[in-house]
Amino acid sequence: MLERVLSMKIVLFCGIALVFPVVLFLSLSDPPADLSLAKELAIVNANEQVSSNHPTIGEFRTLLDRLEKKCSNSRRDIADICMTGYLYRKDRGNLDTLLEFTRKVDEVIPNHVEVAIDLVPLVRAMMGE
């Protein structure tokens, strides 16, 4: 019986010893969701990797904050919709950057809207559909 308890403790300890470094690594390496989303947009904008303190990350975070207040779409959806619109226009020869396109989207929507706007029809109109 004592051997069985000791065996169980050893197995449990080994399991924890194997899992703990992975959990620790993941918790230290995962940036906040907001930062990673803004950084994702900054990378697409620059068409290359950017540093964590790149100025466009803050600009995208500010734009996402403003658009989130004006739109009924989630923050993730706003980023995806703007990226889709930007890439569509880029494929057709438009020279705007993602940051410029996202700024235009923000400027088109008034600051004090009564009802949150669905971003999809607006961006479709900006894409020329």
Query: In terms of residue numbers, what domain contains 74?
Result: 32-127
Can you give the pLDDT at residue 77? Answer: 96
Same domain, 57 and 72: yes
Contact in structure between 57 and 38 (CB atoms under 8 Å): yes
Per-residue pLDDT of the chain (129 residues; tens, 9 = 90+): 656 655 555 644 544 555 444 444 444 554 555 558 999 999 999 999 999 899 999 999 999 999 999 999 999 999 999 999 999 999 999 999 999 999 999 999 998 888 889 999 999 998 885
How many domains does the structure of the chain reveal?
A: 2
State whether 36 and 21 are in the same domain.
Answer: no
User: What dihedral do alpha carbons 30, 52, 36, 82 form, nearest 10°?
Assistant: -170
- On whether both 40 and 24 belong to a single domain, the answer is no
18 and 41 in a common domain: no
Beta strands in 3-125 (DSSP E): none
Domain check: are 1 and 55 in the same one? no
Same domain for 43 and 26: no
User: Residue 89: its pLDDT value, please?
Assistant: 93
Are 69 and 85 contained in the same domain?
A: yes
Residues 59 and 114 placed together within one structural domain of the fold: yes
Q: Are residues 55 and 105 located together in one domain of the fold? A: yes
Do 79 and 58 reside in the same domain of the chain?
Answer: yes
Are 9 and 24 within one domain?
yes
**DSSP track, 41-100:** HHHHHHTS---TT-HHHHHHHHHHHHHHHHBSS-HHHHHHHHHHHHHHHHHTT----HHH
Look at residue 22 in the predicted model and tell me its pLDDT.
Answer: 46
Same domain, 60 and 12: no
Instruction: Give the global pTM.
Output: 0.71
